[in-house]
Structure 1
Amino acid sequence: MPDSPASHRLRTGRYAEPNRIYLLTTNTLGREPVFADYALGRLVVHQFRKAQSLGLANSLAWVVMPDHFHWLVELEKCSLSSLMRQTKSLTTREVNLSTARHGPLWQQGYHDRALRRDEDLVKMARYVVANPLRAGLVKRLGDYPLWDAIWV
């Protein structure tokens, strides 16, 4: 699938370093709230865990929101693009099989932010997992089912 000029510009200069920590974010196509369905959100969680078990990335914190996810990872033995391509491809396949839908699930591209180890990673993880609170989806973090962090 050819990239649009805008999505190509987003990747200009992108370089993925093993053992570097990244905050990754991607949205569903048209910001459709697919993962308001808990069972479908669990399919994304399964892919996060699979990436970790394969040694691709160490998941530090994540949250699956109805129309996007945030994933704080330490990159291990793959590139950012292959990690995101695999995660998005496999979740698309699983969601489509589970719902009898067809076609793309995710917007093209993703946002990444490389973090320094001296940054407050716990603070970043709290920011990630607090998304449901800020979005008004729950009153207490414990009430939202689709998040995790190694520090909590």
Structure 2
Amino acid sequence: MPVTALPQGNRLRAGRFSEAGRIYLLTAVVHNRQCLFADWRLGRLVAHELRLAEDLALARSLAWVVMPDHLHWLVELEGASLDGLMQRVKSRSAKAINTVRQTQGKIWQKGYHDHAVRREESLKTLARYVVANPLRAGLVERIGDYPLWDAIWL
């Protein structure tokens, strides 16, 4: 019997495991890779939801960057599952963005990518990777010039 390939979104969810206290590197992509967050004011709405998730003890942000068409978030999971955390951040930020833009419709692509950080991986190295995205993309010459990032070590 032939094996039917799963759509990419389902493959990303296969085998996903949420564990409180574990650190994850999460990536979410804007619908159709639209450079929505080139407008930093819209990106700040996403940043607000990341901070709110921390205030509600759902997760502890270690580092994050909102790029023009995606989000990277290094996070320690606390009082939520990965799916619950990402659903909350994406849905609340989408509602806020649509309200500000006076639009309706999708803001984020379905699903997200997650990587459970292994003990031997350096958190500071991963955090530097996350916050250096704007440098690698050629958006700025110094990370301090990019408005949409944060890390607990800096």
Per the normalisation by structure 2, the TM-score is 0.94
| Structure 1 residue aligned with 2:71 | 69
Percentage identity across paired residues of the two chains: 60
Q: Which runs of 4+ in 1 moved over 3 A?
A: none
Counterpart for residue 113 of structure 1: 115
Q: What is the letter of the counterpart of residue 125 of structure 1?
A: A
The correspondence for 2:141, drawn from 139, 142, 147, is: 139
| Runs (5+) with no aligned partner, structure 1 | none
Structure 2: how far apart are the matches of 1:6 and 1:131?
Answer: 24
Q: How does 1:53-92 map to 2 (within 5 A)?
A: 53-92=55-94
1:50 to 32, 46, 52: 52
CA contact 1:21–1:117 (8 Å) conserved in 2: no
Name the Cα RMSD after superposition. 1.0
Q: Which amino acid is the alignment partner of residue 28 of structure 2?
A: T
Deviations, residues 110-140 of structure 1 (Å, cap 9, x unaligned): 0000002332100000000000000000011
- Aligned counterpart for 2:39 among listed residues 37, 40, 43: 37
Q: Is 1:101 equivalent to 2:103 in the alignment?
A: yes
Structure 2 residues without counterparts, runs of 5 or longer: 1-5
TM-score, L = length of structure 1: 0.95
Deviations 1:90-116 (A, max 9, x none): 000000000011111000010000002
Q: Which has the larger radius of gyration?
A: 2
Partner of 1:17: 19
